[in-house]
């Protein structure tokens, strides 16, 4: 069952219920964030970087620690270009299924992997997107206690099931608006199509006047909007 039609509904229901999560930026600006989960990947992430380089776009990447350890040079290439780096857990296990200690360990191991690959200090990498968007009140409590910032999304085109590049682009263009936080995947599931997708998507969004910013910028804009 494809869930893509339901994600905008989930977003409208969940966003007001969990206001401490970043769901989107300021609706009064044309700034949007392009984000990528599940990397870095030895093939798909460099393909993404090539497109971002071409359009001089800065994006945000939420990484799995195990993938950083497998591809440290690619992780460094992403970081060296000034893209924003966040955490996606060590190995994509659902945060809701982990004990607080195991979740903390998963995040800290990923921060260590990123430090070893990119020389980014742990305090520089504290944005977290839960795998599959699943979290509990206990998850959010741990984030708060350990000074992590939970990041969600407002546009989810379900690219990981590979519905086709055209379909993914159409879904995003139908849903995008000021402040949108778009999630795509450059990992094993969905990464095959991601470079082709953004090669079509980015020019269309630029043509509509959108500006690409990092998740960190969306945080700042969301604060000023309150």
CA–CA distance, 17 with 38 (Å, rounded to integer): 26
Residue position matching structure tokens 């006047």: 209
185: nearest Cα among 154, 152, 160, 165 = 160
Contact 212, 32 (CB under 8 A): yes
Instruction: Tell me whether residue 41 is one of the annotated catalytic residues.
Output: no
Annotation marks residue 185 as catalytic: yes
Catalytic one among 37, 38, 159, 193? 37
Q: How many CB atoms lie within 10 A of CB 1?
A: 4
Query: Of 3, 184, 32, which Cα lies nearest the Cα of 22?
Result: 32
Q: What is the DSSP letter of 155?
A: B
Active-site residue among 41, 92, 185, 186?
185
Burial of 66 (0-12, 13-18, 19+ CB in 10 A): middle
Catalytic residue ranges: 37, 185
């Amino acid at each position: 069952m494809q869930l893509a039609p339901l994600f905008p509904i989930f977003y409208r229901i969940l966003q007001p219920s969990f206001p401490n999560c970043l769901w989107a930026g300021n609706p009064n600006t044309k700034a949007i964030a392009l984000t990528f989960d599940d990397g870095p990947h030895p093939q798909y992430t460099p393909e993404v970087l090539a497109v971002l380089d071409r359009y001089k776009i800065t994006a945000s990447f939420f990484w799995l620690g195990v993938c950083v350890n497998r591809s440290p040079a690619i992780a460094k290439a992403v970081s060296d270009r000034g893209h924003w780096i966040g955490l996606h857990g060590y190995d994509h296990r659902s945060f809701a299924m982990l004990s607080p200690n195991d979740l903390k360990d998963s995040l800290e191991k990923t921060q260590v992997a990123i430090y070893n690959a990119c020389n980014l200090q742990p305090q520089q990498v504290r944005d977290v997107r839960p795998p599959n968007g699943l979290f509990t009140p206990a998850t959010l409590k741990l984030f708060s206690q350990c000074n992590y910032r939970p990041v969600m999304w407002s546009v989810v085109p379900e690219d990981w099931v590979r519905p086709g590049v055209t379909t993914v682009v159409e879904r995003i263009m139908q849903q995008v608006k000021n402040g949108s936080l778009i999630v795509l995947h450059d990992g094993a599931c969905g990464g095959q199509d991601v470079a082709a997708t953004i090669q079509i998507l980015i020019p269309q969004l630029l043509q509509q006047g959108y500006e690409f910013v990092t998740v960190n910028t969306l945080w700042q804009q969301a604060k000023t909007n309150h």
